[in-house]
Amino acid sequence: MRGGRDPAQPLRPAGQHLWLSQCGMPFSMSAQWKALIRHTQPRFGHRVNAHLFRDCVATTMALEDPDHVRATAQLLGHAGFETTERYYIVAQAHQAQRQHHDVIAARRKALRRQERKLRVGST
């Protein structure tokens, strides 16, 4: 093969590592941190550290697929479901808050419409 090694053939077997470098080696903690910053900084305008990233995964899974929220415990390596359950509760609270906000906003909009009708009708 010309120009280097075949990327389909890693230098070492993957083993138990989830994140691997281009040459098949496990990512070091600092390499993971740098990659996370390199991808999150331009997209979100600030750095997202690994802990916040994990929080986001757990919360998103709880919101988007609550029937399978227990899978989050295994995915993130939580010792028990209690840790995952906290994310589920926070996600449900956020969702309830959003729904409450939407109801209030709809009522305010309806009230403004009524007020406009009353002003137009009284002139």
- What are the residues whose beta carbons fall under 8 Å from the beta carbon of 25, sequence distance 6 or more? 11, 12
Q: Is residue 65 helix, strand or coil?
A: coil
Q: Return d(Cα 101, Cα 108) in angstroms, integer.
A: 11
The per-residue pLDDT for range 39-97, each reduced to its tens digit, is: 989 999 998 888 888 888 888 888 888 888 888 888 888 787 887 788 788 888 888 99
Beta bridge partners of 26: 20
Comparing 43 with 25, the larger pLDDT belongs to 43
